[in-house]
Amino acid sequence: EREDLAVDRWVATTCGYCGTGCGLYLGIKGGRAVAVKADPAAPVNKGHLCLKGLYEWKILDHPERATVPLRRRNGAMEPVIWEAALAEVAHRFREGLATGGPEAVGIYHGGQLTLEEYYAIHKLAKGVLGTPNIDANTRLCMASTVSGHIRSFGVDAPPGCYEDLDVSGLIFIFGANPAEMHPQLWQRILRNRKLNGARIMVADPRLTLPARAADLHLRLRCGSNIPLLYSLINVLIKEDMLDKDFIRRSTVGFEELAEAAAAFPPERAANLTGVPAADIVAAARLFGRSPSAVTVFCQGVNQSCQAVDTVTLINSLHLVTGKIGKPGSAPLSLTGQASSMSMREIGGGGSLPGFRNPENPEHRRQVADYWGIQVEKLPRRINDINRMLEMIEDGKLKVLWVIGTNPAVSLPDLGFSRRQLEKVFLIVQDIFYPMETAAYADIFLPAAGWGEKTGVVTNSERRLNLVRRAVAPPGDAWEDLAIVARVARYLGAEELFAWKGPEDAFRELRELTRGRPNDITGVDYALLERKGGVQWPCPEGGRETPRLYSDGVFPTRPEEAQGYGAFNNPEGRARLWAVPYVPPPEVPDEEFPFWLNTGRIIEHYHTRTKTKRIPELQALAPEAYVEINPRDAAQLQVVEGEMVRVVTRRGWVEVPARLTEVVAPGEVFIPFHFGDLDPGEGRKRRAANLLTGRFVDPLSGQPRAKAGACRIEKRVPGN
């Protein structure tokens, strides 16, 4: 906050970075953004912001904002007028459809757009192009939670809310680092500890800030989530710390789960995880005996081996102890991007709007009738980005539209992924130029960003918040909604996008949620403005819902069970699953002796498209690095700051060594934010995803970026 700034007006909006969804004001002076201040009335952050939110205004008006459409001619990108660029986009789509059918075209978008923009993009993909090739970068982020929730609860409706963090007796942080990724939630956890004496327990291979602050740190090995969770359930059963009444009334599958957990007594789990058996028992007792517990989880779960199985077991941990649907008790998955949850609501992640099942004929008919299209047009399943890349490799997918994301840095196995971006006819839509993915573009479309458009973003606790247009986009940049609608017009589907603005799109989508688990028919922009956010479901004439499943009834009806057909729970009971334990596909060996872990740091966001352009953030974290335990460094004869080469079976990077106890011996960590194209710098090989593999979770398609094998080489000068 800059109190000395006499701004003309403060515009209430929501932070555009992480999925916490903090409320803030954007200060405008002379038509330009000049400051941000926290909103003291915002229910999420109550007057506080983290570093990223505080400097968010600096991306507006930045000199590298993209301002004109570009088209590649003779290898170089040249300015082109909008209508020519859009006509070519539509022509390429038509040509692809004519020669290769719906599978020849595709869209891949980010998780920072608005609910209305996602709705428009998916309507265009599924209802106009009729293509199954529609996915988002949330595939890299929380796809496993989506699948895990569908498996456990019937639909992807997360049970808990942030208030649970304020009142719970135990916060179990599993594969998450809220101190760096969701700082305002970490502050709420610390306040609970200070005011109410809440206990904190952490399961993480790294000695993160939460791990250091925890009452108990379970320092498990990379790739060993499943044995740890099974062992916790094993002790809960053995020591009779269950809610048997809840199990009987509200779940099915307990016997199978108990049998599977019996194979993981603490002594065996200790061997598999590296966590002492006594700590596993202590952790189970902490969880079982606490009157309430929240399990906060994020990428250490979602990007891990057997990620969906891990989510399922976390849900089961809460179900067998009845710690769900009550104040202070819930599994709470955190989303990394401002509106990842919005993406899930509109039918991203493989469903249709309103969490409809695309394999259910009645659900398909409802959507097709509402859109006024032939039901056959709607794809029955989607191809995720992994499949899309394979289809490019096979010559089947020919035209790809990338909107608001940077796959040339964020996708795994970049050597392979970048080859596909090179091959396909690539349309890139973004707010900055240059950026790594735009280097592969045939057409580049400049888009409006946060602060320049209005719409809804839903945070991790199902809270719909408004982001507002406070300034005009720079140059000739357009709002994403307008770009999608204009492409639809060129494709002859103008009437499907006849909205005057985002609120019309919101009203249309809202109707599709009527009677569905995410019913928002009781919400409009005026209510969001008045209340500062509303948690779904909020049906017409009803109220918002901070906490789900309070009655112990779950939407596990057979007709909802997308791709997980084992449901037959007309009584609405949650499902406990006996998941298998499959050791990681790649483990350290003689040639690659270290575990490679990748992740985020507080200063940066995703591939730094925005944060590298904010001098204050960039100065704090200007360069990639590899964390190495000092014991390993001594053996390798590597000193602090020395450039080393990190090598996997996929590729190598060169980064300085950071010697730290944060990583255990035998494990190394690299932040994934850094690409190789920073303005003013030469090309660098430092993108962590040059190292990661195309190992994906078989149920969610989410890449396993948290556990691979690597070696560290001292750099040979001149090599």
**CA-based nearest residue to 281, from 291, 272, 292, 269:** 269
Buried b vs exposed e over 563-577: b needs ≥16 C-beta within 10 Å? ebeebebeebbbbbb
Which one of 44-52, 79-87, 198-206, 649-657 is the stretch in contact with ligand SF4 (CB under 6 A)?
44-52
Let me know: does 404 contact 429? Beta carbons within 8 Å.
yes
Residue with tokens 């735009």: 438
**CA-based nearest residue to 331, from 564, 174, 205, 193:** 174
Long-range contacts of 416-422 (CB under 8 A, 24+ apart): 416/389, 416/650, 416/694, 417/389, 417/689, 419/393, 420/389, 420/392, 420/393
Q: Closest approach of Cβ 100 to ligand SF4, in Å? A: 41
Q: Which of 28, 33, 34, 49 binds ligand SF4 (CB under 6 A)?
A: 49
CA distance 234 to 322: 16
Which one of 60-68, 178-186, 307-315, 399-407 is the stretch in contact with ligand SF4 (CB under 6 A)?
178-186
Q: Closest approach of Cβ 180 to ligand SF4, in Å? A: 10
Amino acid at 693: G
CA distance 323 to 316: 10
Q: Closest approach of Cβ 13 to ligand SF4, in Å? A: 11
Q: Which is nearer to ligand SF4, 452 or 519 (CB)?
A: 452
Residue with tokens 């920073």: 678
**CA-based nearest residue to 476, from 444, 503, 441:** 444
Q: Which is nearer to ligand SF4, 505 or 617 (CB)?
A: 617
State the helix-helix crossing angle for 414-423 and 385-393, rounded to 10 degrees. 60
Q: Which residue is nearest to ligand SF4 (CB)?
A: 53
Q: Which is nearer to ligand SF4, 52 or 463 (CB)?
A: 52
State yes or no: residue 170 binds ligand SF4 (CB under 6 A). no
State yes or no: residue 18 binds ligand SF4 (CB under 6 A). yes
| CA angle centred on 376, ends 370 and 380, rounded to 5° | 95
Length of the chain: 719
Which one of 47-55, 125-133, 384-392, 703-711 is the stretch in contact with ligand SF4 (CB under 6 A)?
47-55
* Element containing residue 38 per DSSP (H, E): strand 32-38
Which one of 18-26, 297-305, 684-692, 711-719 is the stretch in contact with ligand SF4 (CB under 6 A)?
18-26
Q: Closest approach of Cβ 183 to ligand SF4, in Å? A: 5
Which one of 11-19, 112-120, 160-168, 350-358 is the stretch in contact with ligand SF4 (CB under 6 A)?
11-19
CA distance 667 to 593: 9
Give the pairing of strands 455-458 and 199-203.
unpaired
What would you report as the CA-atom Rg of the chain, rounded to the nearest whole angstrom?
24
Q: Which is nearer to ligand SF4, 54 or 134 (CB)?
A: 54
Q: Closest approach of Cβ 580 to ligand SF4, in Å? A: 36
Which one of 50-58, 588-596, 632-640, 711-719 is the stretch in contact with ligand SF4 (CB under 6 A)?
50-58
Q: Closest approach of Cβ 711 to ligand SF4, in Å? A: 35
Q: How many residues bind ligand SF4 (CB under 6 A)?
A: 14
Phi-psi region of 593 (alpha: psi -120 to 50; beta: other; left: phi over 0): alpha
Q: Which of 26, 28, 35, 50 binds ligand SF4 (CB under 6 A)?
A: 50
Q: Which residues touch 125 (CB under 8 Å, ≥6 apart)?
A: 106, 107, 131, 133, 134
State yes or no: residue 52 binds ligand SF4 (CB under 6 A). yes
Q: Which of 154, 183, 210, 451 binds ligand SF4 (CB under 6 A)?
A: 183
Q: Which is nearer to ligand SF4, 611 or 689 (CB)?
A: 611
Q: Which is nearer to ligand SF4, 49 or 657 (CB)?
A: 49
How far out from the chain centre does Cα 586 lie? Answer: 24
Binding to ligand SF4 (CB under 6 A) within 53-72 occurs at 53
Phi, psi of 172 (to 5 degrees): -100, 110
Q: Closest approach of Cβ 174 to ligand SF4, in Å? A: 19
Let me know: does 75 contact 352? Beta carbons within 8 Å.
no
Q: Which is nearer to ligand SF4, 302 or 351 (CB)?
A: 302
Q: Closest approach of Cβ 20 to ligand SF4, in Å? A: 4
Q: Which is nearer to ligand SF4, 187 or 360 (CB)?
A: 187
Q: Which is nearer to ligand SF4, 460 or 702 (CB)?
A: 460
**CA-based nearest residue to 36, from 46, 44, 20, 48:** 48
State yes or no: residue 17 binds ligand SF4 (CB under 6 A). yes
Let me know: does 15 contact 25? Beta carbons within 8 Å.
no
Q: Closest approach of Cβ 49 to ligand SF4, in Å? A: 4
State yes or no: residue 675 binds ligand SF4 (CB under 6 A). no
**CA-based nearest residue to 293, from 351, 238, 241:** 241
Q: Closest approach of Cβ 664 to ligand SF4, in Å? A: 28
Q: Which of 12, 13, 20, 597 binds ligand SF4 (CB under 6 A)?
A: 20
Q: Which of 144, 147, 168, 184 binds ligand SF4 (CB under 6 A)?
A: 184
> Any idea of the CA torsion for 121, 127, 133, 139, to the nearest 10 degrees?
50
Let me know: does 274 contact 219? Beta carbons within 8 Å.
yes
State yes or no: residue 111 binds ligand SF4 (CB under 6 A). no
Q: Closest approach of Cβ 52 to ligand SF4, in Å? A: 4
Q: Which of 13, 45, 351, 460 binds ligand SF4 (CB under 6 A)?
A: 45
**CA-based nearest residue to 497, from 13, 120, 111:** 120
Which one of 42-50, 246-254, 659-667, 694-702 is the stretch in contact with ligand SF4 (CB under 6 A)?
42-50
Residue with tokens 């730290």: 660
Q: Closest approach of Cβ 16 to ligand SF4, in Å? A: 7
Which one of 180-188, 267-275, 438-446, 643-651 is the stretch in contact with ligand SF4 (CB under 6 A)?
180-188
State yes or no: residue 42 binds ligand SF4 (CB under 6 A). no
Q: Closest approach of Cβ 465 to ligand SF4, in Å? A: 10
Q: Closest approach of Cβ 464 to ligand SF4, in Å? A: 15
Q: Which of 182, 199, 323, 706 binds ligand SF4 (CB under 6 A)?
A: 182
| CA angle centred on 694, ends 689 and 695, rounded to 5° | 120
Q: Which is nearer to ligand SF4, 219 or 610 (CB)?
A: 610
Q: Which is nearer to ligand SF4, 418 or 613 (CB)?
A: 613
State both tokens at 43. Answer: 């229910």
Cis preceding linkage at 580, omega within 30: no
CA distance 603 to 592: 30
Which one of 43-51, 59-67, 125-133, 210-218 is the stretch in contact with ligand SF4 (CB under 6 A)?
43-51
DSSP state of 518: T
Let me know: does 321 contact 287? Beta carbons within 8 Å.
yes
Residues binding ligand SF4 (CB under 6 A) = 15, 17-18, 20-22, 45, 49-50, 52-53, 182-184
